[in-house]
Chain A
């Protein structure tokens, strides 16, 4: 398939063989098996573990994308993906919890990047304040459950307070238990609605602007929301200001998650100290995965519809779009609101997973990082954006920290003497900047460009010397059979 060939430059013959369904399926299964073997071969006590993990984690975590990209019968693809998500990943995650954490983070950021992709990639509206919508969702769940001294805690409006209140009648306790068990998903829906609404509110005044101007205004808006979060601790304490919200609750953990974790651990012969912690990670993994699945589905359905075509038209030429009957403001608001709604839902998950949020979690750099995921992956292409989110999340949370760990390990073993100032994890912005510059130079349309952009780039390369367009408007004046007297 094209996507694979985009990743691995190969001869056409090789591509053709790979595009046969049977070969694709075999390669995919082989890839997954080898990746899993690699993971289980990792020895955490080895001196070189960080370096080995640095290589193997991306190989393993990319496998769903490999399966999704190779050509194979549809049923086989679905079965393989289900097996990987429902069996392989949990098992690997229980034996190697950092990988589960990575998977959760990837699903969170892939969801965010896909939301931003609707605004930037589909509709072509550059939004530099996207993290604001993420913050709305996160703060919503944070305020609903954190025991920090906010007005919600004082007035016993939080979900957690009810749980710890011993003076409830059995009926009330039953009601509270019911509310609590559903509260997370209920708040997630509120988060979707609230972030969508904020998206519309932001969109209404700024959508007359285009390009750079829109980018600047959205950038400002992102900061406004962050500063609201920082300063809304007085006179009434809504957000607990710069101290942030701590001990945010997780959604209730179904019992079978713990027993599942324990039984897998015993099958693998692992000793798990606190199965509840791992089980909770598994729960976040499940929620993240379901959210991501829904978001991907929504992206595809929106893109391949009247709405998606209208967005592309707006991206290509606003004047022509409105003259063809596309209501600009309404369609742009819809793009803003859909992108924001995704961020709101993910914000709720993020707050529950991190258990602590503060205004520093929602700085401009976050917006830029998410935008970088969209650009690196390939603006407009769903699969590309997921790949971009994977790569950037991995580099940020795995590759660079592991390099640091490796250097540390070598330093402690006395094999290497590098000053701690050269810690790779400290050079994250440098690495990102470098990656972006290289991307813009060599793959401006992203790693997996959208189909039409790929077509465009290909044809430009092939037909470089053939001018296709005849001279237009100026020539008309000269050429027109009516010379001006």
Chain B
């Protein structure tokens, strides 16, 4: 297990957003966390990445506890993420956005920066190269010098992913990465997620609402409802799980699922 979360609890005032959630993510997998709106999925991501502090429970990543780490330390430990509502650095260019993503892997020294030493220049060159490489990887070639806020929505999602990849993570958390995309864009996004795992060897976890994406790409699915985990398993198991169906999926998705049997 690359990531092992045990009995995680988080309350906001009287609302228990995450109750006793235990989830394991195995290395090299693509998995999804699904659940109705307000089920605690994004809160769960925020707990993993240190934006919220859990009330109870443990998070072990790659053999080390993440409890008490700040978000930047979690990033350095090897977990990168994207956001549900896109959070780009709007007034920076696409390339600069990706370059910021490398921050935790860089040697940052005021004297080297002020004196423009060879070491500093070499590092800047490597950062540039890496950002250009990721630009291409994410399918954004030729858009590096545009302000990120001026690009269309689908491209902004890609920038966020490229920026997250720039920190050389072991695990990438994608929070509704295909939200608002049309079917064709979703299909392209799915092939990008596969590429992340297959070519870069990075474990992928998605929060997704789009069942075509979830069933099409996930090897493992965890289902949250009202902050609790109600089911886990392969897409087939989840689809057949009466609790999930009852709590969440509903008739339309059951019907739609039949078209995606080839997945997983």
Task: Name A's B-contacting residues (CB within 8 A).
Answer: 298, 301-302, 305-307, 309-310, 312-313, 316-317, 319-328, 334, 452-453, 455-456, 459, 468-473, 475-477, 479-485
Q: Tell me if B152 counts as interface (CB < 8 A to partner A).
A: yes
C-alpha spacing A480/B76, complex, angstroms = 33
Q: Tell me if B196 counts as interface (CB < 8 A to partner A).
A: no
In the complex, the answer to whether A325 meets B86 with C-beta atoms within 8 Å is no
User: B127 — which chain A residues lie within 8 A by C-beta?
Assistant: 306
Q: Tell me if B72 counts as interface (CB < 8 A to partner A).
A: yes
Of the listed residues A313, A319, A484, the one surrounded by the most CB atoms of chain B closer than 10 A to its CB is A313
C-alpha spacing A469/B150, complex, angstroms = 8
C-alpha spacing A453/B83, complex, angstroms = 24
Q: Tell me if B211 counts as interface (CB < 8 A to partner A).
A: yes
| Contact with B101, one of A302, A325, A473 (Cβ below 8 angstroms) | A325
Beta-carbon nearest neighbor of B124 in chain A: A305
The binding surface of chain A is classed by DSSP as helix
Q: Tell me if B116 counts as interface (CB < 8 A to partner A).
A: yes
In the complex, the answer to whether B180 meets A324 with C-beta atoms within 8 Å is no
User: B151 — which chain A residues lie within 8 A by C-beta?
Assistant: 468
C-alpha spacing A382/B116, complex, angstroms = 19
User: B110 — which chain A residues lie within 8 A by C-beta?
Assistant: 307, 334
C-alpha spacing A321/B75, complex, angstroms = 11
Report how many A-B pairs have Cβ atoms within 8 Å: 158
Interface size on B, residues (CB 8 A): 64
Shortest C-beta distance, B81 to chain A (Å), equals 6
| Contact with A476, one of B93, B179, B251 (Cβ below 8 angstroms) | B179
Listed by A's residue number, 26 A-B pairs whose Cβ atoms lie within 8 Å are A298-B114, A305-B113, A306-B113, A309-B96, A313-B89, A317-B88, A317-B90, A321-B100, A322-B71, A323-B49, A324-B75, A324-B80, A324-B163, A324-B164, A325-B72, A326-B104, A334-B110, A452-B93, A456-B150, A459-B150, A473-B179, A479-B180, A482-B249, A482-B250, A482-B253, A485-B251
Beta-carbon nearest neighbor of B150 in chain A: A459
C-alpha spacing A476/B213, complex, angstroms = 14
Residues 235 to 253 of chain B near chain A (Cβ within 8 Å):
248-253
User: B37 — which chain A residues lie within 8 A by C-beta?
Assistant: 477, 484
Task: Name B's A-contacting residues (CB within 8 A).
Answer: 34, 36-37, 49, 51, 70-72, 75-76, 80-81, 83-93, 96, 99-101, 103-106, 108, 110, 113-114, 116, 120, 123-124, 127, 147, 149-153, 163-164, 166-167, 176, 179-180, 209-212, 248-253, 256
C-alpha spacing A452/B103, complex, angstroms = 21
In the complex, the answer to whether B93 meets A313 with C-beta atoms within 8 Å is no
In the complex, the answer to whether B210 meets A481 with C-beta atoms within 8 Å is yes
In the complex, the answer to whether A306 meets B103 with C-beta atoms within 8 Å is yes
C-alpha spacing A316/B210, complex, angstroms = 30
Query: Top 3 closest A-B pairs, CB basis?
Result: A325-B104, A325-B75, A480-B209
Known interface pairs A306-B106, A307-B108, A482-B253; A456-B212 also in contact (CB < 8 Å): no
If A313-B103, A324-B72, A325-B104 are given as contacts, then 7 extra A-B residue pairs at C-beta distance below 8 Å, sorted by A number, are A306-B127, A309-B100, A455-B147, A456-B149, A473-B84, A476-B176, A485-B251
User: A313 — which chain B residues lie within 8 A by C-beta?
Assistant: 89, 92, 100, 103
User: B49 — which chain A residues lie within 8 A by C-beta?
Assistant: 323
C-alpha spacing A483/B248, complex, angstroms = 9
Beta-carbon nearest neighbor of B100 in chain A: A313
C-alpha spacing A326/B152, complex, angstroms = 26
User: A301 — which chain B residues lie within 8 A by C-beta?
Assistant: 113-114, 116
Shortest C-beta distance, B109 to chain A (Å), equals 9
Shortest C-beta distance, A265 to chain B (Å), equals 39
User: B106 — which chain A residues lie within 8 A by C-beta?
Assistant: 306
In the complex, the answer to whether B87 meets A312 with C-beta atoms within 8 Å is no
| Contact with A470, one of B36, B83, B153 (Cβ below 8 angstroms) | B153
User: A453 — which chain B residues lie within 8 A by C-beta?
Assistant: 91
Shortest C-beta distance, A266 to chain B (Å), equals 42
User: A310 — which chain B residues lie within 8 A by C-beta?
Assistant: 100, 103
Known interface pairs A306-B113, A483-B250, A485-B250; A320-B88 also in contact (CB < 8 Å): yes
| Contact with B36, one of A473, A479, A484 (Cβ below 8 angstroms) | A484
Known interface pairs A306-B103, A324-B103; A316-B92 also in contact (CB < 8 Å): yes
C-alpha spacing A321/B90, complex, angstroms = 12
C-alpha spacing A473/B51, complex, angstroms = 20
In the complex, the answer to whether B101 meets A324 with C-beta atoms within 8 Å is yes
C-alpha spacing A473/B84, complex, angstroms = 7
In the complex, the answer to whether A481 meets B212 with C-beta atoms within 8 Å is yes
C-alpha spacing A307/B113, complex, angstroms = 8
Beta-carbon nearest neighbor of B250 in chain A: A485
In the complex, the answer to whether A481 meets B85 with C-beta atoms within 8 Å is no
C-alpha spacing A343/B114, complex, angstroms = 18
C-alpha spacing A279/B100, complex, angstroms = 48
Beta-carbon nearest neighbor of A337 in chain B: B110
In the complex, the answer to whether A452 meets B167 with C-beta atoms within 8 Å is no
Shortest C-beta distance, A384 to chain B (Å), equals 15
Beta-carbon nearest neighbor of B179 in chain A: A476
User: A452 — which chain B residues lie within 8 A by C-beta?
Assistant: 91-93, 147
C-alpha spacing A322/B211, complex, angstroms = 31
C-alpha spacing A472/B179, complex, angstroms = 8
User: B92 — which chain A residues lie within 8 A by C-beta?
Assistant: 309, 312-313, 316, 452
